[in-house]
Amino acid sequence: MKILHLDTNHPLLLKQLQELGFENHEDYTSTKSEIEAKIHEYDGIIIRSRFTIDKQFLDKATNLKFIGRVGAGLENIDCEYAEEKGIVLISAPEGNRNAVGEHALGMLLSLFNKLNKADKEVREGKWLREENRGIELDGKTVGIIGYGNMGKAFAKKLRGFEVEVLCYDIKPNIGDENCKQVSLEELQKRANVLSLHTPQTALTTNMIDAEFIANFSNPFWLLNTARGKSVVTKDLVEALKSGKVLGAGLDVLEYEKKSFENLFTDQEMPKAFKYLINAENVLLSPHVAGWTIESKEKLAQTIVDKIKENFVNL
């Protein structure tokens, strides 16, 4: 079986697939149309987020048996059409879930203790202790929306704190020793912190809007290490201005392209984003919550293991 690799990944991916008997081909520079012209030659493709795998692409991939996405989500792939064609879709949320959990916790603690603000001020020669008095996580109620690999990893990281952890998910009976599953209404009534760990779907796109925020009983802190389009940024900015949202840690933004590699589709910076980059109670990172040295290896290993499980010695 021939596999076309469209993005660079950890070297173990190529090495172990070769050892399993696969023929690896690499093409990290050709245009999408150039790839489409030869994709019929391949049984599998490995991609991160270089471009969208749409119907046109899939129609040309006449021999394709699987798509391996070295990441957690599959939103850059037309999954329904691929499955209609009998193509196996392989992702690797197990590979970077720990990294996401640690990143979310790091963002929360940094916001609570004003670390980004204090660091900047000290570098400017300002020694402002009272202005940087923080708050403690103990005693708070943390709400998690989306209790899959990422949500569970974040809940596990919170075990060292005296906090109550609640989760809401469309799937029933997924609570565990680290988190109590509740209705969305109960989560909104009780949470002091909200952390998003959902995929990008029709249900989650623009989910965090003005109405959603208004339904929270308490002012709360927002963390988003999931997908940027889940949050309506202009509504978040209004909530930050009013104090309904006390602060935000955003690893993702709604302005990202589908490739996740670029921020804007045009050169005009949105007004809401201008507010975020100047807000002292907002922490931003460039879609790197699951992007660690360790996760790069674990993501690749997960893809290899799943390909082996599905396509070796059948």
Question: One of 48, 102, 227, 254 is an active-site residue; which one?
Answer: 227
* Residues constituting the chain: 314
CA dist 169 and 139 (Å) reads 23
Q: Find tokens 């020694």 and name the residue.
A: 127
CA dist 94 and 71 (Å) reads 9
Question: Quick count: other Cβ atoms within 10 Å of Cβ 93?
Answer: 20
Told to judge if 227 belongs to the known catalytic residues of this protein, a careful annotator would answer yes
- With beta carbons less than 8 A apart as the criterion, state whether 304 and 297 touch: no
CA dist 194 and 64 (Å) reads 40
CA dist 237 and 253 (Å) reads 13
Q: Find tokens 């916001």 and name the residue.
A: 111
Give 309's contacts (C-beta < 8 A, 6+ positions apart): none
Question: One of 75, 102, 254, 256 is an active-site residue; which one?
Answer: 256
Told to judge if 238 belongs to the known catalytic residues of this protein, a careful annotator would answer no
List residues with catalytic annotation. Answer: 227, 256
